[in-house]
Structure 1
């Protein structure tokens, strides 16, 4: 019997990986967004959130397989985005909704 391919990303062994749970609504429900391997860093996540790449992000998790940890970082990301949002002239409605939802939880 052959080995199954690993689902662990082939990023640098010590890199934290960030994934977004998106609410697609209705019958589609929630799903983890497909993300290119090189787009799983915190910096890229923040840029994508600010740019409005995610329409209804509901949860963000981070993990590092080399260090053996994973955690929900939704509140941490929302706090950082709240501090940074003052730097921008315009903020996408999806980001404002995410910040509002994250503050209520």
Structure 2
């Protein structure tokens, strides 16, 4: 038996990327519990837009099958901004801080005066 082997922690049949949200409240920040079917990208974005999180801090994506993980918070915030813009709607009030913390405002370059 190999000494570096360990059993998989990935549930059988789960091979996609999983997205988990760190959510904060007055009692502290926690990884939000989620059903396996509710950890895909689209469900997480829909849940954020629906106000399912108190104060989302960050979103982490990981894929145990492919052996990677990364912070996708800025990507999610940009997607929320883009969806709101395309729908000609304001960002939902409960997500304003989240989006503003993670989406850099467009920088307008000053005109050079002679």
In which range does the TM-score fall when normalised by the shorter chain? 0.7 to 0.9
Identify the residue that residue 22 of structure 1 maps to in structure 2.
23
Distance of aligned partners of 1:90 and 1:36 in 2 relative to their CA distance in 1, 3 Å threshold: same
What is the match of residue 45 of structure 1? 44
1:49: Cα distance to partner?
1.0
Asked if the contact 2:23–2:58 (Cα under 8 Å) also holds between the matched residues in 1, the reply is yes
Rg: which structure is higher? 2
Q: Deviations over 1:8-56 (max 9, x none)?
A: 344532x01000001112xx21110011111000010111111111120
Runs of 4+ in structure 1 off by over 2 angstroms are 5-12, 88-92
Deviation at 1:97, TM superposition (A): 2.0
Unmatched tracts of structure 1, length 5 or more: none
1:11–1:38 contact (8 Å) kept in structure 2 = no
The size of the alignment, in residue pairs, is 97
Segments of structure 2 that go 5 or more residues without pairing to the other structure are 1-6, 105-114
Task: Please provide the CA RMSD for this pair.
Answer: 2.1
Query: By percentage of residues, which structure has more helix?
Result: 1
Aligned with 2:42: secondary structure? helix
Q: Report which structure shows greater RCO (CA 8 Å, sep ≥6).
A: 1
